[in-house]
């Protein structure tokens, strides 16, 4: 059903091309250790999620927003006075997260290698431009891709803009990604097609039930998509 239908394939990046969420979970673990004298883990996790949700609409996605959320949570837990070692501890956790941790997902390299001569491949990610472009260049995957789009968000409006910018009709969109909420549902809603590559670590913010559509394919590993596309 997918062969000979598309010229361009869009790939999500975080948790589709490279690991991301596991590093955020590890950062939360480090944050819990840093704040161990002030609260228990359970209370801290809830507070942190709430602070993240408060800040995303203002500052978008990415680790800088996470730093604001962590700092807000720490300030509250420390009774309105943030000790220097806590502030710099948070900053180190975030710097390590954004610029040191990197791991490609199994199967990605050979999948892109197989598809790149047959399709125009484009990265469609959301988040902080500096951070996402840093990961994109560092990945070494840029040789397979035509370009990388860093989107402000991934709702229906953003996907219609993505199609228009790439001179495509919405029904010519084929998106590959791990997130039902960001990579699958909005693409289906505008008339496009989607391949879901589920990841076992899902951010609470991204949780959503899979919509019903015959324009969705679900695979367990990204390398399975090659036989549906070539
Ligand atoms: Mg993703």
CATH number at residue 85: 1.10.150.240
Q: How many domains does the chain have?
A: 2
**Distance (Å) from CA 37 to ligand 1 centroid:** 34
**Distance (Å) from CA 223 to ligand 1 centroid:** 16
Closest to 163 measured CA to CA, from 174, 178, 153, 148:
174
Assess whether 210 and 122 both reside in one domain. Answer: yes
Q: Characterize 144-177 residue by residue with b for buried, 16 or more Cβ atoms within 10 angstroms of its Cβ, and e for exposed.
A: bbeebbbbeebbeebbbebbeebebebebbbbbb
Assess whether 115 and 215 both reside in one domain. Answer: yes
**Distance (Å) from CA 179 to ligand 1 centroid:** 5
Assess whether 66 and 144 both reside in one domain. Answer: no
Beta carbons of 194 and 162 less than 8 angstroms apart: no
- pLDDT tens digits for the chain (230 residues)? 889 899 999 999 999 999 998 999 999 999 999 999 888 888 888 899 999 999 999 988 888 999 999 999 999 999 999 999 999 999 999 999 888 888 999 999 999 999 999 999 999 999 889 889 999 999 999 999 999 999 989 999 999 999 999 999 999 999 999 999 999 999 999 999 999 998 876 666 667 788 999 999 999 999 999 999 99
> pTM, whole model, 2 decimals?
0.88
Q: Tell me whether residue 3 is in a domain.
A: no
For residue 77, the enclosing domain spans 21-99
Assess whether 87 and 175 both reside in one domain. Answer: no
**Distance (Å) from CA 16 to ligand 1 centroid:** 5
**Distance (Å) from CA 135 to ligand 1 centroid:** 13
**Distance (Å) from CA 14 to ligand 1 centroid:** 4
Q: Tell me whether residue 1 is in a domain.
A: no
Q: Characterize 40-56 residue by residue with b for buried, 16 or more Cβ atoms within 10 angstroms of its Cβ, and e for exposed.
A: eeeebbebbbebbeebb
Question: In the 8-state DSSP scheme, what is residue 209?
Answer: P
Rounded to 5 degrees, φ, ψ at 203 are -70, 135
Assess whether 186 and 200 both reside in one domain. Answer: yes
CATH number at residue 225: 3.40.50.1000
């Amino acid at each position: 059903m997918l062969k000979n239908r598309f010229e361009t394939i869009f790939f999500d990046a975080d948790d589709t091309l490279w690991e991301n969420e596991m590093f955020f979970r590890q950062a939360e673990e480090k944050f819990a250790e840093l704040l161990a004298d002030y609260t228990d883990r359970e209370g801290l996790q809830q507070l942190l999620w709430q602070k993240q949700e408060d800040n995303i609409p203002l500052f978008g996605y990415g680790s800088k927003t996470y730093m604001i959320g962590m700092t807000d949570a720490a300030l509250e837990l420390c009774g309105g006075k943030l000790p220097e070692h806590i502030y710099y501890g948070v900053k180190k956790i975030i710097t390590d997260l954004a610029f040191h941790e990197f791991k490609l997902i199994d199967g990605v390299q050979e999948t892109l290698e197989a598809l790149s001569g047959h399709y125009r491949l484009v990265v469609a990610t959301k988040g902080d431009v500096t951070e996402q472009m840093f990961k994109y260049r560092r990945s070494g995957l840029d040789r397979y891709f035509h370009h990388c789009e860093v989107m402000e968000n991934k709702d229906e409006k953003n996907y219609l803009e993505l199609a228009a910018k790439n001179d495509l009709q919405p029904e010519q969109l084929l998106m590959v990604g791990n997130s039902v909420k960001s990579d699958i549902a909005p693409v289906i809603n505008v008339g496009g097609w989607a391949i879901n590559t589920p990841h076992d670590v899902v951010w609470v913010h991204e949780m959503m039930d899979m919509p019903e559509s015959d324009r969705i394919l679900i695979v367990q590993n990204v390398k399975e998509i090659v036989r549906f596309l070539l």
